[in-house]
Amino acid sequence: MSIFKKLFTAVRGAATEAGEAVVDSQALRIMDQEIRDAENELKKSKEGLTTVMAQKMATERQVKEKHKSIEEHEGYAVQALDKGDEGLAIQISEKIAELTNEVTPLEALLTGQASSVNQLKQTIKQTEKRLQATKREVALIKSTASVQKAQDAIAATHSGSTSAMSSAMGSMQRIKARQQEKTDKMNAALALETEGGDGDLKAKMAAAGITDSGSNGNSILEKLKAKRGGGASA
């Protein structure tokens, strides 16, 4: 199975009672191994590329040397002809022919090696791109798996709590009732304060059992009420 197909099967959308997607840790382990294998292959390809490139350079050098030698001998041949030494000129020409016969296959080899280098470079580039994409996918799946576990832990913790038993609206009503109680107490304290004249309001609030967080709750409730009064959005 291709590594990409495995990616999809690793996150099976099978909905359980709690609607969790199951991440197949076995499949993840296999994919991790495949990524490691692919990286090894890539490494070998790169080493192979280095080797072929070195060979190509060697061939280039040889071809260059041969051509240089041919040029030199052509020079010698002309010199020989100038001196009128045809015999020598012919010998030199034979040498040139020899050199030419040697360089031709080398040039063919060079062309082949240049082509190999280009192909290898392209393949390596493509493989690297795909490997990066695969690694990103796997990282995403792993973090999904870890979030999944976190959700499970949270669900387990929550189900043991009392808040799990009540409805959302019921809870809201209880909160509002408590806020109302605090507001009433604060109003009572304020009334006392006005009545009694001076006196530390804070002390009175404390005596009435009102803590600082009560004022916060009240102001939030007022804010919420104001928002509700502004018209509910669909």
120 contacts: CB under 8 Å, gap ≥ 6? 45, 48, 49, 52
Question: Which secondary structure element, helix H or strand E, spans residue 151, and what is its range?
Answer: helix 86-159
Cβ closest to another protein, residue 97 vs residue 147:
147
Enumerate binding residues for another protein (CB under 8 A): 15-20, 139, 143, 146-147, 149-158, 161, 163-164, 166-169, 171-172, 174-175, 178-179, 212-217, 220, 224, 227-228, 232-234
Min separation Cβ 229 and another protein, Å: 11
Long-range contacts of 26-30 (CB under 8 A, 24+ apart): 28/138, 28/141, 28/142, 28/145, 30/6
Cβ closest to another protein, residue 68 vs residue 178:
178
Cβ closest to another protein, residue 164 vs residue 191:
164
Instruction: Judge contact between 148 and 20, C-beta under 8 A.
Output: yes
Instruction: Judge contact between 35 and 127, C-beta under 8 A.
Output: no
Cβ closest to another protein, residue 104 vs residue 151:
151
Min separation Cβ 179 and another protein, Å: 7
Min separation Cβ 132 and another protein, Å: 15
* Residue bearing tokens 């792993």: 142
